[in-house]
A and B are shown apart, each in its own frame.
Chain A
């Protein structure tokens, strides 16, 4: 059987070439994500069987079950899934654009920018009694603005007759370091109570997510991921290098800005609602690449699912392993992510 499947319809007005293996991997990942979603929803202080969870999702179950599932667990699990997807897609786009599998959302300084904004928000809007003078609901907005401002700053600083991926990385790393310093400075100068609150946020957690958060995050993430999926051909060509991409008639610089905006927005919206969950944007696309190869048509959807699975798992472990103590999900993604990163460095050392 051929490795690829040709699909043509409407008299040849629509035509695609699918990789059979990618379709298989995508289906398995989608089913896995669904299973984890349901199991995770059932696990916690009150255990609910997967079948009952499905029952509740379709409006059945006892009142108690409904309360636990819809009010307490669903929002955070949906956010975990969405944040994982967004970070993974952003990471995949950046890795392709920078043409380096070790690139990750953190190196653009976006996460750092969001962290500064959040710490700044907590410091500036506290009164003498350490009470916030504005609603905490505005914190995601601050994070999003921080991420956006830094993404634009990095882009402007990297500009020199167009933006080369190499300059982008160097400037990004520099700005990230600066952001980290600013974050630390503000945490030391600010009230101690705020410092620990900020710290949990910086580590990344989906604890305390509300339906209001879900209502903002889900449409933004879904739309951005859809746009990214429409651009996979352009990402493929850009990954062959600027010369080849220009040679086949692609608008390299124009598309690069577009990819940056999409990935910065995906990172910004994730960071805004779940803090700095680390390493997902690095790991998920990399795992996907090993499973389905480098073609973005397959890579993006599979990365997204793996990213969602990773963050849902990290959240599940974080809230059950040391129960009743809650450990932020970001700790677990970093706990797997950091060794994985070292393994990657070790593996590429010989090539």
Chain B
């Protein structure tokens, strides 16, 4: 059996009285890219947040490399797993270096704020994300793509095997979306880091994921390689939308083309008038 980075057992999540995820048993393989997909409000972000201990489970438990997170100290968790929440905001005037440096928080003490190791790992993170040149610039003065790179650099500086990202491409234009996903793919390839993220774009999810988890009705609808699980029936059930699935001409991964009405609306209107 393949090693699991994260495992949930009978995990139930709720906001107040309303149940979001019910008795979910989820396994996230080590060293792979796993992407959560699903319609709006299906609980994919909630699931990611609970794995990152930002939300307390109602019942059930979450295991990190075999150990229950509830039994670990929060700093020990932080040394194994980093989370980048959705659209984080940096305080005005904070420089890229000052931000990225804070990824070292779980390793620091008051007297040891900038060890040689801290310096090396922060520099590596800046290099990996290609923002070395920007390290003295204010985060709020950067473009959307650069800013997201700075935040990713911060999570890299945490030096963890597992990185969770909640919609890392939201609010970015298409070019920057690809840039960020390429960067994450490379991190996975080169450094073998386990990456778990929520993505909205199904086609990009198919391109970059080794493992897709489709969530519907508070539970896992399907999980596996994009080629194995993505088909028109799944999209119809999970997203409640008709579509055709073809093959991505560049990578051979599944590609979803929504049916919708599109320009037919025009024809319908004409026929209604006739």
Contact = CB atoms under 8 A, between A and B. Distances in A.
Q: Do A and B bind each other?
A: yes
Interface of A: 3-4, 6-8, 12-17, 96, 99, 101, 230, 233, 236-237, 239-244, 246-251, 289-290, 293-295
Interface residues of B, number: 46
Interface string B94-123: 110111011101101011111110110000
B113 A15 contact: yes
Contact of B74 (A4, A237, A239, A249): A249
A251 B74 contact: yes
Interface of B: 49, 52-54, 73-79, 82-85, 88-95, 97-99, 101-103, 105-106, 108, 110-116, 118-119, 136, 138, 154-155, 158
A233 B108 CA distance: 9
A14 B111 CA distance: 5
A17 B110 contact: no
Contacts of A247: 52, 54, 78, 82-85, 155
A45 to B, nearest CB: 44
A233 B75 CA distance: 14
Given A96-B91, A249-B78, A289-B92, A16 B85 contact: no
A237 B82 CA distance: 14
Contacts of B136: 3
Given A8-B114, A233-B113, A17 B101 contact: yes
Given A8-B116, A247-B54, A249-B77, A295 B88 contact: no
B113 A17 contact: yes
* 3 closest Cβ pairs, A-B complex: A249-B78, A249-B75, A243-B85
Contact of B91 (A3, A14, A230, A240): A240
Contacts of B112: 12-15
A4 B97 contact: yes
A8 B114 CA distance: 8
5 contacts: A4-B97, A15-B111, A15-B114, A240-B91, A294-B92
A194 B138 CA distance: 52
Given A246-B53, A250-B105, A293-B98, A13 B111 contact: yes
A99 B88 CA distance: 12
Nearest to B109: A233
Contact of B79 (A233, A236, A242, A249): A249
Contacts of B115: 8, 12, 15
B271 to A, nearest CB: 50
Given A243-B88, A248-B102, A289-B92, A17 B114 contact: yes
Given A233-B105, A248-B105, A294-B94, A16 B114 contact: yes
A249 B105 contact: yes
A16 B97 CA distance: 14
Contact of A293 (B73, B94, B102): B94
